[in-house]
């Protein structure tokens, strides 16, 4: 990704480009790119506050680009490939989509203070950890949208020198 508003694919063994660059309307300058589990999809976010999903194999778009009032700060795929989560800058909002029902409204996880700095799913995909700018981690159940636990920075064990 880059300022030319395209995502490029390369053969990891040869370094040769694969196909034409992936573009979608006014994607804007691409600021983040990632792969889904098993590398089936490529996700790209842009400075124009858009998120686009492409099939990795042929570059076709999976759905129309998602526009947001806020820019996309972070995103994560669940290890089982069932969920996709995206956070939106300044909004304190995380949305979680279920791949089986993509066209339905996503689950919204709100109330994050201090901005969202990171997203990560547990290895079993049953929890989504949301890191905030206030050094707090919130654990959510992506299937239900229920808050499981808040973990304040003071609860984080510090590393001791060896």
- Express each pLDDT in 81-110 by its tens digit: 888 888 876 677 888 888 766 655 678 887
Sheet holding 50-55, edge to edge: 30-35, 41-46, 50-55, 66-67
pLDDT higher for 160 or 64? 64
List CB contacts of 51: < 8 A, sequence separation 6 or more.
43, 44, 45, 65, 66, 68, 72, 75, 86
Residue 32 tokens, joined: 């983040």
Helical ranges in 6-127 per DSSP H: none
From CA 51, how far away is CA 43, in angstroms rounded? 7
pLDDT of residue 155: 59
What's the pTM value of the predicted model, to 2 decimals?
Answer: 0.74
Q: Lowest mean pLDDT: which of 2-6, 9-13, 15-19?
A: 2-6
In the chain the first and final C-alpha atoms are separated, in Å, by 41
Alpha carbon 7 to chain centroid distance? Answer: 16
**Mean pLDDT of all residues in 44-49:** 75
Residue 17 tokens, joined: 């480009």
Q: Three-class SS of residue 134?
A: coil
């Amino acid at each position: 990704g880059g300022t030319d508003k395209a995502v490029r694919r390369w053969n990891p063994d040869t370094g040769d480009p694969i196909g034409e660059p992936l573009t979608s309307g006014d994607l804007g300058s691409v600021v983040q790119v990632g792969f889904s589990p098993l590398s089936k999809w490529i996700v790209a976010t842009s400075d124009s506050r858009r998120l686009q999903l492409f099939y990795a194999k042929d570059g076709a778009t999976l759905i129309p680009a998602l526009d947001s009032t806020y820019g996309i700060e972070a995103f994560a795929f669940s290890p089982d490939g069932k969920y996709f989560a995206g956070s939106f800058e300044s909004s304190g909002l995380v949305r979680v989509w279920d791949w089986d029902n993509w066209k339905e409204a996503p689950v919204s996880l709100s109330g994050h203070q201090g901005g969202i700095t990171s997203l990560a799913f547990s290895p079993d995909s049953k929890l989504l950890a949301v890191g905030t700018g206030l050094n707090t981690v919130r654990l959510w159940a992506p299937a239900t949208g229920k808050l499981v636990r808040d973990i304040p920075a003071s609860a984080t064990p510090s590393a001791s020198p060896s």
